[in-house]
Each structure stands twice: as structure tokens, then as C-alpha cells.
């Protein structure tokens, strides 16, 4: 996939299981770039300021790497989740967490899931297994997302408008 834009555009779809979607993604020209493995994400905040602003600061440990991500407020859209996003790789996750704490940030939510990442030139697909169900995330340009959703036979009513943090909280896992 090309370098990510500073604006994330994605669609999260509820699916019954991830297994049946692997061959479907392959048939649509996706290739698996990261096999299914555990991911740990932690949301950080300072006195609720980021959440109140509709933003998020996340550390993610996945595929042997640590990443720091800031997400800004959502842009209104009927089906897609669109928001500013800046992300960078981190060499030392423990040092990053110590820096965040020194700046007054505290972890406010820990989230675990199993994720496999698939890509084709204009689109990324993630197959996620969470404690509350399975999801397919499509990220890229809106037209490519909608076309892939249709090609996979997924109706718009399968779209999950809530973020993973919102889903964790809704399921009492916060």
C-alpha cells in the first residue's frame, strides 16, 4: 500500500468469522502482508482532554513493532469513518510510555485483538478477532472501499460506526 495519507478513511464491517474472508480477499487481488497475530493497543489521555476534543492518542504493539498514533475528530459521513491521523514508528515502547507518563498522560483503555493485514495497491484490509466479535476493516479511498465492500458481498447494514474503544466500553471491557 502507498504511504498513508494524513487523513484516515476506513469502514469497519461486522462479519461472522474471519476465515471465510481470507480466500475472498485473495480472489480480489489482496495479499496477506502480516499473518494473524496478537495486537495490544493502549489509549492515553491527560485529564480527559483528548477524548473531550474527539481525539485519541494510541500506542500499538503489533508484529514486533510499536507505533504511536494521534487521531483527530471525525469528519461527518453516513458510512465511512474519516478523521485526521498521524502515525510513526517507535524504537523503544517502554521509553515512549515513560515519556507519555512524564508528560502527564495516563493509560485509559487497553485493547487486545488478533489482526491479519491484507493489502492491494489502493486498499488495506484487516481481519480482526476481538473479545466481542469479528470485523473486516477496509482503509483507503472511499470509492475503493465501497467497491471492495460490494465485491465481498457485504451490505452497508454490516457497517459498524463505533470505534474499537467505543465497542470495548459498550461491552464492559474498559
pLDDT in tens, 103-153: 999 999 999 999 999 999 999 999 999 999 999 999 999 999 999 999 999
SS3 label, residue 79: coil
Average pLDDT, integer, range 39-60:
97
CA 55, chain centre distance (Å): 14
Closest-CA residue to 140 (of 119, 161, 117)? 119
DSSP, res 62? E
Where do the domains of the chain lie, and which CATH numbers do they carry? 7-170 (2.40.320.10)
Place 56 in a pLDDT band, splitting at 50, 70 and 90.
very high
pTM score of the predicted model: 0.93
Check residue 4 and give its pLDDT: 65
Three-state SS at 68: strand
Amino acid at each position: 500500500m502507498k504511504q498513508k495519507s494524513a487523513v484516515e478513511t476506513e469502514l469497519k464491517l461486522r462479519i461472522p468469522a474471519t476465515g471465510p474472508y481470507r480466500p475472498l480477499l485473495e480472489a480480489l487481488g489482496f495479499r496477506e502482508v502480516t499473518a494473524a497475530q496478537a495486537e495490544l493497543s493502549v489509549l492515553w489521555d491527560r485529564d480527559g482532554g483528548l477524548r473531550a476534543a474527539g481525539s485519541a492518542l494510541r500506542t500499538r504493539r503489533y508484529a514486533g513493532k510499536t507505533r504511536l498514533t494521534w487521531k483527530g475528530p471525525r469528519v461527518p459521513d453516513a458510512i465511512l469513518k474519516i478523521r485526521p491521523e498521524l502515525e510513526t514508528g517507535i524504537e523503544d515502547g517502554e521509553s515512549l510510555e515513560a515519556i507519555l507518563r512524564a508528560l502527564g498522560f495516563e493509560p485509559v483503555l487497553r485493547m487486545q485483538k488478533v489482526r491479519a493485514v491484507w493489502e492491494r495497491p489502493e486498499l488495506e484490509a484487516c481481519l480482526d478477532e476481538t473479545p466481542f466479535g469479528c470485523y473486516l476493516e477496509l482503509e483507503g479511498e472511499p470509492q475503493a472501499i465501497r467497491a471492495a465492500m460490494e465485491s465481498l458481498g457485504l451490505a452497508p447494514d454490516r457497517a459498524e460506526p463505533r470505534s474499537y474503544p467505543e465497542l470495548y466500553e459498550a461491552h464492559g471491557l474498559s
